[in-house]
Structure 1
């Protein structure tokens, strides 16, 4: 089956409100609650895979004033989420729902279970009211609801199971297989195939993510990494160049998102932070070079395409920081493209970034992700600039071809870091239980 760049954007780039993992937990709970007769919920229980657990453990949930936790995400989703909104499921949440959720959790009516040996994305939710029990299951992709049951009977007639929805989910897996067969040259050509609608959609992604960056720079939520960098510039302790500008925008947006600010991000490859990394460094660089708007949008389009290509190899979640190695590679490819680089420069930029950031681990979503996005954004610019100057790494993890380099990232993530992933989770669990 053949796809177009429009298909890539449609399936890989979408708005997401809040960190993707707790939002996925909320979505599963909202979906189960939607089929449960009556409104009063008595008990919620969820089961999640290690990477969902890791990434939903310590990040703020949007609209809650900074509350964290898988239990909180599940309860809020069940009490007030709208599953039809998918990754914006928490948009209807208000203070009344948050207060009710806190009371529900305080009464110890929710339980979280870790499926420690499960591989791949999985969220199971059970919600009980009286004799009625509703269940939902999400697999493979954060908004891919594969099962709904009421009292152990499958619910087949539901808007979440429309033929269109099912076709889109199946197409995503087919798209990934199709992408893996493409060369870098073909991926670059896709950027030239963007029509007016595609360009407008990409530009909307810039506007969405810049709202987060502007909020982060103005108010300094979370760790305030972006605002701190801006303050250091004003104090003349560091200088604002294109590398620092990229770092400021990406980290400020991550500050806002990880703090639970109720503004959506335009995601890429299934992750909001990937979307921030894929878009904002390129948007920062454009202020330092001669360009036209169409070329900037094409560069960001290429970034999304490269991100999707690498995510097809790494999977949605892994022990390696995807913002660094997947979206970072997309960003550096887009920057090299924007700066007038040819295919060799783009390939070199991807290799440079891969060598620099391949060892960055994912230790869960949290305010500290803003630091990693700052690193990824700055390195994306540097890797492209080095490549354009003829500085290209040719040894180590990089392959002979750019395609092999990107495939190697997937091998590292899915095979080489299995034990690392377990160790990271064990450290996090030990810290969590020691705090109780």
Structure 2
């Protein structure tokens, strides 16, 4: 693929747009970002707050700890953190710099200020509106489709910012529809590493750091440590354990940032850490690691683009298949091995549901990476799932499209039932 190919510049831009830092689970951080922006426009702390959020956001925020809040959970905690301590200029790192006095202030704000939360159904899976009130002043900020995609800022009924809402996308972003597995393969084998080096170096550093912290600390169910303690330190175990450990830490209050993929820190960890661990084990060159990571990240994004930002379909599956693609590149080095690994992975674990962000995400990551390793082992042994085997279609692109329809359309009612169940048992 030549540099003047539209796909080349698009793929580089996709990596730069997607692989960005975030602290904590990205849904509560999106709420904190909107709240910080609303407070910035209001110019003071509000007397009352109204939060409207789509069901999938409510699902993803309910059970996860918001970092830098003293281990608080839930929508009010995320919004209060954004209002009291947020820096909207830092977007998904909006509450990355919070001292102890601010943490106390967040707790006080929650105790003294009314924060109402209402469900929002305006036809978008990812949709939130934060409205702040102070005397006669009212500020409204709305985010749709992606975590930092502000589409409306309004003060006292005067429109400060309003942009068109595009279906499952951000206006001006690189065209994900240009992604294909064959195109991605061509790109990673011909890319000038200097075009993506800084982006991937940051992913390696950030995600490795939180993975190591997850193994050192006591976070959630400590899935990473459980795996190593139970099954040993073989590379197949270590690839799963270190990815799980990153999620252990991230879902349970660790204040280190991660580099996300498809809007998710867990997916960013899942599609990078196993590839990094295999690269270490195989002692491959840094150049080869960069190409493997570009492959893993773009493969994950390609799958997730058709599903959408939030779904009842667990995003760790897409990211696990992406990791499998990267590992197949490192060990087998052929497009055939990559495609069979991805298809095999999707055939094995596509039934995992997303029931929000919480400690068990680490275990789902483990299952997804394990399926990827098994899918690659099948290929090495001359085995594969073929078109007509359930949801496996005649080729990888048709299979990915089919999975997208299942995740986006087929599991919509599943998502609604999961949300109902979680809200009823609050």
Q: TM-score under structure 2 normalisation?
A: 0.93
Q: Residues 14-53 of structure 1: matches in 2 within 5 Å? A: 14-37=20-43, 39-53=44-58
**Residues of 2 paired with 1:297 and 1:46: CA distance?**
41
For the structure 1 residues 73 and 27, does the alpha-carbon distance in structure 2 shift closer, same or farther, using more than 3 Å as the test?
A: same
Is 1:9 paired with 2:9? no
For the structure 1 residues 242 and 379, does the alpha-carbon distance in structure 2 shift closer, same or farther, using more than 3 Å as the test?
A: farther
Q: 3-state DSSP class of the match of 2:141?
A: strand
The residue that corresponds to 1:165 in the other structure is none
Is 1:54 paired with 2:52? no
Q: 3-state DSSP class of the match of 2:42?
A: coil
The residue that corresponds to 1:208 in the other structure is 206
**Residues of 1 paired with 2:161 and 2:414: CA distance?**
40
The residue that corresponds to 2:171 in the other structure is 170
Q: 3-state DSSP class of the match of 1:35?
A: helix
**Residues of 2 paired with 1:128 and 1:197: CA distance?**
46
Is 1:247 paired with 2:248? no
Equivalent pair of 1:199/1:294 in contact (CA under 8 Å): no
The residue that corresponds to 1:346 in the other structure is 338
Per-residue deviation, 1:93: 2.1
**Residues of 2 paired with 1:348 and 1:197: CA distance?**
28
Per-residue deviation, 1:116: 5.1
* Count of aligned positions: 412
Q: 3-state DSSP class of the match of 2:226?
A: helix
Equivalent pair of 2:176/2:302 in contact (CA under 8 Å): yes
Q: 3-state DSSP class of the match of 2:171?
A: helix
Q: Deviations over 1:205-251 (max 9, x none)?
A: 0110011111011113122111222333xxxxx23222210111011
For the structure 1 residues 40 and 204, does the alpha-carbon distance in structure 2 shift closer, same or farther, using more than 3 Å as the test?
A: closer
The residue that corresponds to 2:166 in the other structure is none
- Aligned partner of 1:419 among 413, 418, 424: 413
For the structure 1 residues 47 and 194, does the alpha-carbon distance in structure 2 shift closer, same or farther, using more than 3 Å as the test?
A: farther
Alpha-carbon RMSD: 1.8
**Residues of 2 paired with 1:88 and 1:239: CA distance?**
35
Equivalent pair of 1:32/1:126 in contact (CA under 8 Å): yes
Per-residue deviation, 1:344: 1.2
Q: Residues 18-417 of structure 1: matches in 2 within 5 Å? A: 18-37=24-43, 39-107=44-112, 109-115=114-120, 118-156=123-161, 169-172=170-173, 175-179=175-179, 182=180, 184-192=181-189, 193-232=191-230, 238-324=231-317, 326-394=318-386, 395-417=389-411
Q: Which runs of 5+ in 1 are unaligned?
A: 162-167, 233-237
For the structure 1 residues 341 and 387, does the alpha-carbon distance in structure 2 shift closer, same or farther, using more than 3 Å as the test?
A: farther
For the structure 1 residues 418 and 28, does the alpha-carbon distance in structure 2 shift closer, same or farther, using more than 3 Å as the test?
A: same
Equivalent pair of 1:141/1:270 in contact (CA under 8 Å): yes
Q: 3-state DSSP class of the match of 1:148?
A: strand
**Residues of 2 paired with 1:5 and 1:302: CA distance?**
10
Equivalent pair of 1:87/1:143 in contact (CA under 8 Å): yes
Per-residue deviation, 1:421: 0.8
For the structure 1 residues 170 and 279, does the alpha-carbon distance in structure 2 shift closer, same or farther, using more than 3 Å as the test?
A: same
Q: 3-state DSSP class of the match of 1:4?
A: helix
Per-residue deviation, 1:16: 0.8
**Residues of 1 paired with 2:178 and 2:186: CA distance?**
15
Per-residue deviation, 1:197: 4.2
Per-residue deviation, 1:101: 2.1
The residue that corresponds to 1:164 in the other structure is none
Q: Which runs of 5+ in 2 are unaligned?
A: 1-5, 164-168
Equivalent pair of 2:16/2:199 in contact (CA under 8 Å): no
Q: Deviations over 1:172-229 (max 9, x none)?
A: 2x512333xx3x2111111121422412321220110011111011113122111222
**Residues of 1 paired with 2:295 and 2:61: CA distance?**
29
**Residues of 2 paired with 1:196 and 1:340: CA distance?**
24
Q: 3-state DSSP class of the match of 1:291?
A: coil
**Residues of 1 paired with 2:368 and 2:360: CA distance?**
13
Per-residue deviation, 1:256: 0.6
Per-residue deviation, 1:156: 4.0
